[in-house]
Structure 1
Amino acid sequence: MLVISFIAFVVITAMPSDPVDIAVRAWNLSATEETVAALRQQWGLDQPFLFRYLDWLSRFVQGDWGQSFQSGLPVLNQFLERLPVSFMLGFCGLGLAVIFAIPLGFFAALKPGGAIDRFSRFLSVFVQTIPAFWSGLMLLWILGAKLHWIRPFAQDLNAILMVILLIALHSTAVLARVYRKALSDFTTEPYFKTALSKGLSMRQVFWRHGNKAALFSLFAAVHSEAGWVIGGTATMEILFNFPGISQLLVQSIEARDQMILQAYVMVVALWMVTISIVVKVTQHLLDPRIT
């Protein structure tokens, strides 16, 4: 987190823009020398780079995330208003993907080459080929404009469920194939044949003996999918006009709002670290040999 914070601060600070000029235009202030000097002193922009970074870092860990150059509002307050929306979409989408992937991958491995196996393969190729925003646009057009089943940009329960399903769709296909591959590899193990010789059915052997190993591989893949979920959540927030942090990010990039951008990088880094810890703990529970 410390390394990420420093690299992000270097890159964001090096952007070709002056936060004071942005604030003057956004707040309709008079661009006098006194005003510019006062703002630069207030935000510490007149200090050396390393001092600015250490000052920002010390304030950040204490909960002072700075002031938006665009709106003048505290950055932390803006994030606290929008984070619940983004985390709800991201966590629910990723959790739903895991729930869907297990039965889909299980039955695909149970009958290789069968209808479910072919469907999971097609779904995996489809979501890897079709961008998430295109799928969202098509659903908005079909369900909203043509069938009138939903109200576009209404931000009601139907829209929330559709966004979560769209986010889960991509990860479900990928995780199901990972789970299916792990179960298929399990059939080459000696204890698989031993379990069959005891009179257990293929389904019982898979579930009782192969499930733990498959779940281990599944949760290992969850970590990489968590990164995609961030991008998928951002796409859906913008497409469906949800007031999450990704929508705020797009507005802040356009305005070169450095404080918002820096906080966003740290929140995303914290998301990835948290997912990594959860995955490691889950893997340890499945296999105590993992430390």
Structure 2
Amino acid sequence: MSPVRFGIQSLAGLLAISLASFTVITMMPADPVAIAIRVWNLPATDETVAALRAQWGLDQPLLFRYFHWLTDFVTGDWGRSFRTGEPVLGEFLERLPISLSLGLAGLALAIVLAIPLGFFAAAYPKGLADRSSRAFSVFVQAVPGFWLGLVLLWVLGVQLRWIRPFANDWTAVLLPILLIALHSVAVLARVYRRDLKETVAQSHFRTALAKGLSERQALWKHGHRSALYALLAAVRSEAGWVIGSTATMEILFGLPGISQFLVQSIAARDQLVLQAYVMVIALWMLVMNGSAYLAMRFLDPRIA
């Protein structure tokens, strides 16, 4: 797929997601005006209700409201939160660095750890490294992240006092980043290992051994590039899992990211916040998908 076609498909996907999410969120069985009147302690008069509905465009047809919202969203006007009364863009910009830091750091840590884990598992297929990697993969996918987080929080923070959870410094994010990385590193390591093992059956691998290379040297020299390609392809799907893990960690550790803000806004049916969150997540997936695509093109320029 060419970059131009990739860009067009991504843009079309964003538009489809925006329309679908806007329709679903707008059709939710709740009146944001009634919620705002209750939260802001405003007089529930007909004039107040009419003014708020006109101000937020709730008296307009759905399609007109969508295009109006889309135009404003693209130009940086994400509207005002029904719950807080503050600009949604400002609320997100204040919280987004925390969420991005957790997600990107967790995914990067998973990639860095997956390569050596997968390599040693492939180099010693019947050894401790491979068995440990398999058991670790099963464990982290079977155990809920929030439960594991609570256990590690109690052990590392309360019993051993190695970390300071809920502190207002950089140590507060160490455990959340590790927990986000755990699931992804297990999956990526097995993907990397599987592709390396496929290299062993290739004729050029046997030729490399005949030339005097050790099995590990031949595996790295002739298998790493293709295995890294497979790992990057898996990163595109793992990026979606990271979103859920980041949201769980924000709530579990009380980190003021966008996911925690979303949870607070759901009960109030804060439509503009919900819509902005959907679009931010869609943009995250688009950026991660595009980054992995460019890295895969770099590894294999034959990709059209």
Q: Give the TM-score normalised by the residue count of structure 1.
A: 0.98
For the Cα contact (< 8 Å) 2:19–2:66, is it kept in 1?
Answer: yes
Which residue number in structure 2 is paired with residue 253 of structure 1?
A: 266
Which residue number in structure 2 is paired with residue 7 of structure 1?
A: 20
1:18 CA drift (Å): 0.4
Task: Tell me the distance in 1 between the aligned counterparts of 2:157 and 2:275.
Answer: 36
Task: Tell me the distance in 2 between the aligned counterparts of 1:213 and 1:150.
Answer: 38
Structure 1, unaligned runs of 5 or more: none
For the Cα contact (< 8 Å) 1:155–1:241, is it kept in 2?
Answer: no
Structure 2, unaligned runs of 5 or more: 1-13
What amino acid is the match of 2:211?
K
What amino acid is the match of 1:129?
A
Which residue number in structure 2 is paired with residue 177 of structure 1?
A: 190
Which residue number in structure 2 is paired with residue 56 of structure 1?
A: 69
Where 2:83 maps in the other structure, the secondary structure is coil
For the Cα contact (< 8 Å) 1:82–1:245, is it kept in 2?
Answer: yes
Task: Tell me the distance in 1 between the aligned counterparts of 2:168 and 2:222.
Answer: 44
Task: Tell me the distance in 1 between the aligned counterparts of 2:214 and 2:289.
Answer: 35
Q: RMSD across aligned C-alpha pairs, in angstroms?
A: 0.9
- 22, 30, 47: which is aligned to 1:17? 30
Which residue number in structure 2 is paired with residue 206 of structure 1?
A: 219
Which residue number in structure 1 is paired with residue 295 of structure 2?
A: 282
Task: Tell me the distance in 1 between the aligned counterparts of 2:212 and 2:268.
Answer: 67
Is 2:122 aligned against 1:109? yes
- 153, 170, 179: which is aligned to 1:140? 153
Where 2:267 maps in the other structure, the secondary structure is helix
For the Cα contact (< 8 Å) 1:155–1:240, is it kept in 2?
Answer: no
What amino acid is the match of 1:232?
S
Is 2:143 aligned against 1:130? yes
Task: Tell me the distance in 1 between the aligned counterparts of 2:217 and 2:165.
Answer: 46
Task: Tell me the distance in 2 between the aligned counterparts of 1:255 and 1:93.
Answer: 31
Q: What percent identity do the matched residue pairs reach?
A: 64
Is 2:268 aligned against 1:268? no
What amino acid is the match of 1:42?
Q
Deviation string 1:71-117 (CA, Å, 9 cap, x unpaired) is 11000000000000000000000001000000000010000021111
Which residue number in structure 2 is paired with residue 82 of structure 1?
A: 95
1:155 CA drift (Å): 4.0
Aligned residue pairs total 291
For the Cα contact (< 8 Å) 2:165–2:171, is it kept in 1?
Answer: no
Where 1:262 maps in the other structure, the secondary structure is helix
What amino acid is the match of 1:199?
G
Moved more, 148-157 or 116-125: 148-157
Which residue number in structure 1 is paired with residue 5 of structure 2?
A: none
Is 2:69 aligned against 1:30? no
1:158 CA drift (Å): 2.1
For the Cα contact (< 8 Å) 1:155–1:242, is it kept in 2?
Answer: no
What amino acid is the match of 2:43?
S
What amino acid is the match of 2:84?
S
Q: Give the TM-score normalised by the residue count of structure 2.
A: 0.94
Deviation string 1:22-67 (CA, Å, 9 cap, x unpaired) is 1101101111100000000000000011100000000000000011
Which residue number in structure 2 is paired with residue 73 of structure 1?
A: 86
Which residue number in structure 1 is paired with residue 181 of structure 2?
A: 168
Deviation string 1:235-277 (CA, Å, 9 cap, x unpaired) is 0000000000000010111111000000000000000011111
Where 1:255 maps in the other structure, the secondary structure is coil
What amino acid is the match of 2:249?
M
What amino acid is the match of 2:162?
W
